[in-house]
Amino acid sequence: MPNVLITGCSSGIGRALADAFKSAGYEVWASARRPEDVAHLSAAGFNAVKLDVNDSAALQHLAEQWGELDVLINNAGYGAMGPLLDGGTEAMQRQFETNVFSIVGVTQALFPALRRSKGLVVNIGSVSGVLVTPFAGAYCASKAAVHALSDALRMELAPFGVRVMEVQPGAIDTSFAKNAGAQAELLINEQSPWWPLRDGIRARSQASQDKPTPASVFAADVLKAVQQSRPPRLLRSGNGSRALPLIATLLPKALLERVLKNRFGLSRNL
C-alpha cells in the first residue's frame, strides 16, 4: 500500500486531499497543528500527526519515524491579506515561515525517506503567485517563492530519483476566504493610510471565493496527476487556474495594473 503524508489537513484543501487519497487506497498520514484538529483526523480514520511545520524539533522527530515515503504533499499555509506596509516585515516573515520556509524544512526532514522510495514531492502553490494583486502582496510573494523553489528542487532532487510536482490552485471552495478576511480585519483600522480603501481590502480577501471549484474536485485532479507514471511538473486546477496566468502573460503590465487598481479601489488619490 503506497503511503502519503499531507500537511495542513485541518480543513479545506488538505482535508479534501486526505479523503481522496484514503479512498484511493493510500495509507494517509494527515497532519494538523491544533490538538482538536488532530483528534478529528484520527476519528476519521487517518494516521493523524500533530505537527507545527515551523517547529524544527518536531520535524526532526517526524523524520525519525519514517522508513520510506511515497508521496509528500506540502499543503500547510495561509493567506495574509492587507496592505504590505500595514503588515510590515513581521507579517511578511510569518507568511513566509509557513508558506515557504516550511516546505524546505519538511522536505529536508523527509528527504531520506523520499529518497529510499524514489518518491514524489507535491508543493501546493497558487495562481496568486503568477497574477499578483494589491492587498495580497505578502501572500502572492510567498506563492511566487513556492513556484521558484519547486523548480529548483525538481532539478536538485532528480539525481536521487525524487520527483517534484507543483500545483497552482485557482478558486477553491474552502474556508480560505473566511480566514483571510479575519487576517485582513486585524490590520484594517482608522490609523492606516489605506483606511478609506477598506472595502477594496475586504473585496480582495474574499476574491478566492469567486465561483469556486469544490475542494473534492480539486483533490481528485491532484490524485489523478500523482498516480500517473510521469506526474506533470505543473498542475493547474480550479476556477481561474488557467485563465488568470494567461491574462498575466498576455495582458500588457500597465493595462493589467489599471484593471486591478479599478477592481480594488486604488484609482483615486488619497
The x, y and z cell numbers of residue 13, run together, are: 484543501
Q: Which of 22, 78, 118, 143 is catalytic?
A: 143
Angle between helix axes 102-117 and 137-157 (nearest 10 degrees) is 20
Contact 63, 110 (CB under 8 A): yes
Please state, in angstroms and rounded to a whole number, the distance separating the CA atoms of residues 256 and 65: 48
Residue owning grid cell 483615486: 268
Q: Is the dihedral of CA 163, 224, 43, 74 positive or negative?
A: positive
Please state, in angstroms and rounded to a whole number, the distance separating the CA atoms of residues 43 and 21: 17
Neighbours of 53 (CB within 10 A): 24
Annotation says 26 is catalytic: no
**Half-sphere CA count of 128, side-chain side, radius 13 A:** 25
Contacts of 88 (CB under 8 A, 6+ apart): none
Annotation says 139 is catalytic: yes
Residue owning grid cell 494527515: 30
Please state, in angstroms and rounded to a whole number, the distance separating the CA atoms of residues 233 and 265: 37
Annotated catalytic sites, by residue?
139, 143
